[in-house]
């Protein structure tokens, strides 16, 4: 459940980076993508 939630956050962050008009929001989206991707990997590692 949380992995899906984080994946949606990454999708939204990517969309903001591609189409965003506000530099601060675009930068935050980049940070969000990086952090959420790491957390997804950590959670997936718990299931291995």
**pLDDT, tens only, 3-42:** 999 999 999 999 999 999 999 999 999 999 999 999 999 9
In a domain, 29, yes or no: yes
> What is the greatest pairwise CA distance in the chain?
40
In a domain, 20, yes or no: yes
Q: How far is Cα 28 from Cα 48, in angstroms, rounded to an integer?
A: 31
Q: How far is Cα 24 from Cα 30, in angstroms, rounded to an integer?
A: 10
**pLDDT at residue number 21:** 98
pTM value is 0.90
Task: State how many domains the chain has.
Answer: 1
Q: How far is Cα 3 from Cα 32, in angstroms, rounded to an integer?
A: 14
In a domain, 11, yes or no: yes
Range of the domain at 38: 2-42
Q: Which DSSP state fits 1?
A: -
């Amino acid at each position: 459940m949380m992995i899906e939630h984080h994946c949606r956050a990454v999708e939204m962050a990517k969309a903001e980076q591609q189409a965003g008009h506000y530099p601060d929001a675009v930068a935050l989206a980049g940070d969000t993508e990086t952090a959420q991707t790491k957390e997804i990997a950590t959670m997936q590692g718990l299931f291995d």
